[in-house]
């Protein structure tokens, strides 16, 4: 089993310090990582072959993915989220009302 663990690129010393459940989780994570790396290599090879047949290359920007910026959370949004957590974890609504009054005063 340790051979499989190491073959997946994991630290051999760590093998003896984990539970069987952690072993399964780590091996599954390593398997996913290896599959993603292989998919990336296949994607790259396909695009190299496809682009090498083009007489005119497409604009580089059209090939690159852009990740949309997540909107930043306002202070009010953060306070609402914290208030909801406080109540969800059994906080006293009266105490929360007192804290809200203090916030408004400052």
Spatial CB neighbours of 4, under 8 Å, sequence gap ≥ 6:
27
pTM: predicted TM-score of the whole model, two decimal places = 0.54
**Residue 51: closest CA among 40, 62, 38:** 62
Percentage of the chain with pLDDT > 90? Answer: 72
pLDDT for the residue numbered 103: 83
Residues 65-104: pLDDT tens digits?
887 888 889 999 999 999 999 999 999 999 999 988 988 8
């Amino acid at each position: 089993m340790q051979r499989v663990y190491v073959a997946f690129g994991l630290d051999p010393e760590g093998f003896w310090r984990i539970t069987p459940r952690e072993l399964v989780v780590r091996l599954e994570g390593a398997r996913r990582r290896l599959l993603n790396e292989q998919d990336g290599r296949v994607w790259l090879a396909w695009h190299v072959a496809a682009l090498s047949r083009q007489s005119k290359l497409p604009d580089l920007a059209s090939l690159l993915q852009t990740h949309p910026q997540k909107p930043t959370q306002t202070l009010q949004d953060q306070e609402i989220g914290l208030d909801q957590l406080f109540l969800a974890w059994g906080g006293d609504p009266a105490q929360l009302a007192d804290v809200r009054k203090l916030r408004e005063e400052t």
